[in-house]
Copies of this chain bind each other. A is one copy, B any other.
Amino acid sequence: MIYVGKKIAVIGGDMRQISASNHLKKKTFNVQLYGFDKEYLNKDANMAESFEQAAFGAKVLLLGLPAADDTNINTSCWSGKLSINTFVSSLEKDVLVIGGSLSAALKAALDEKGIKYADYLQREEFAVLNAVPTAEGAIEIAMKELPVTLSGLKCLVVGYGRIGKVLAKSLKGLGADVSCSARKCSDLAWISVSGFNPVQTSRISEEIHEYPLIFNTVPHMMFDKNMLGLVRGDALIIDLASKPGGIDFDRAKELGIKVIWALSLPGKVAPDSAGKIIADTVINIINEI
């Protein structure tokens, strides 16, 4: 779809959606917003007076992250409410609804009316790009908590997925001495080729006591009682793994090890960048139609 000049309605969500709307405007979309209280918006924002006005002529409707719950569209920066029913019933059939994590109720309502939809949370490039604000957020936490510089510090990044890769690179860019753990030989080869110290997952326990700073990115119980017992007492562990996380928090508390579970960092530490990432992903989705 050629989107130059096309109308996109940005409906609800949080500050990221407002940032996304600004970036979409720069990319020559005709943007109209709905579902935000005025205090959150710039003076020159094109705010619709009703949902019908916002939807009128819009080829694309962009929703927040998450897009909706069982009954309502997510409008967390708005004192009002917009139900899934109202939303769907006002749409033309040939529009495209894009949101982050669409609820079953929303998808059912859209399917019923035959309206196409896409989920930017399921796009690989969205996850890749979000690794950057996640890594910076984790680094900001480490800087704030530790009485030492990251430069020269021995750090372990557990897991070499998207976040692990980007975090390791940023830490090295600050002069840290970075080790990364992985299970697969090919991942360990990449770790080595990228200039990090490779650590076989099964051998973490042998050297975990050397690290005053540990980042976990693996959503399994990596740091159970046994492993925590081997961690330095003055170590800081930052858990970036989504639920259920990878650390036995109770046991860490008993041992006096400081653990910070840092979830959803992009929206918290860099909402403008997170919004730009949404906008870029939305444009990719539209380009592929």
Copies in the complex: 4
A84 at the interface (CB under 8 A from B): no
Q: Which one of B128, B170, B270 lies within 8 Å of A148 (CB-CB)? A: B270
> What string of 1s and 0s marks CB contacts (under 8 Å) between A118-130 and chain B?
0000011100110
A173 at the interface (CB under 8 A from B): yes
A242 at the interface (CB under 8 A from B): no
CB neighbours of A175 from chain B (8 A): 132, 170, 173, 193, 195
CB neighbours of A166 from chain B (8 A): 193
> What string of 1s and 0s marks CB contacts (under 8 Å) between A183-209 and chain B?
011101110111100000000000000
Roughly how many angstroms separate A194 CA and B132 CA in the complex, as a whole number? 10
Contact between A186 and B149, CB atoms less than 8 A apart? no
A107-146 CB contacts (< 8 Å) to partner B: 123-125, 128-129, 131-133, 136-137, 139-140, 143-144, 146
A169 at the interface (CB under 8 A from B): yes
CB neighbours of A124 from chain B (8 A): 184-186, 189
List the B residue with the shortest CB-CB distance to A281. B185
Contact between B150 and A193, CB atoms less than 8 A apart? no
Roughly how many angstroms separate A125 CA and B19 CA in the complex, as a whole number? 41
A151 at the interface (CB under 8 A from B): yes
A174 at the interface (CB under 8 A from B): yes
State the 7 A-B residue pairs at the shortest beta-carbon distance, nearest first: A173-B173, A124-B186, A125-B189, A128-B189, A140-B143, A147-B272, A125-B185
Q: Footprint of B on A, CB under 8 Å? A: 15, 19, 123-125, 128-129, 131-133, 136-137, 139-140, 143-144, 146-152, 166, 169-170, 172-175, 184-186, 188-190, 192-195, 269-273, 284
12 further A-B contacts with Cβ under 8 Å, apart from A124-B185, A140-B143, A148-B273, are A123-B185, A124-B184, A125-B185, A128-B193, A136-B143, A136-B151, A136-B174, A149-B270, A149-B273, A169-B194, A173-B175, A185-B284
Task: Identify 5 residue pairs between A and B in the complex whose beta-carbon atoms are under 8 Å apart, listed by A's number.
Answer: A123-B185, A140-B144, A143-B143, A166-B193, A174-B174
